[in-house]
């Protein structure tokens, strides 16, 4: 069983008045986490994907 790409690959788009967003999703291999923020013009992204099929780059 894998974490579907449509869960990992979709999310908010920075800009348009948004300054931050975060999300979590539990899949069979563990919790997927993603968060971003724009502060003082600096974009910061953090993400955590559990080990398992589809989690390598």
Domains and CATH numbers, the chain: 5-48 (2.60.420.10)
pLDDT at 22: 92
Query: pLDDT truncated to tens, each residue of the chain (57 aa)?
Result: 455 554 555 555 676 788 998 999 898 888 999 999 999 989 999 999 888 766 554
pTM (whole model) above 0.75? no
| pLDDT score for 57 | 47
Residue 28, pLDDT score: 86
Q: What is the pLDDT of residue 33?
A: 92
Centre a 10 Å sphere on the Cβ of residue 50 and count the other Cβ atoms it contains.
Answer: 14
Give how far Cα 52 sits from Cα of 3, 7, 24, 29, 41, Å: 9, 15, 17, 6, 35
What are the angstrom distances between the C-alpha of 19 and each of 26, 38, 48, 57?
Answer: 25, 5, 20, 27
Q: DSSP state, 54?
A: T
């Amino acid at each position: 069983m894998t974490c579907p790409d449509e869960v990992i690959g979709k999310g908010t788009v920075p800009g348009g008045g948004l300054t931050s967003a975060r999300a979590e999703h539990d899949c069979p291999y563990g919790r997927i986490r993603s968060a971003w923020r724009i502060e003082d013009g600096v974009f910061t992204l953090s993400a955590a994907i559990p080990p398992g099929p589809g989690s390598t780059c």
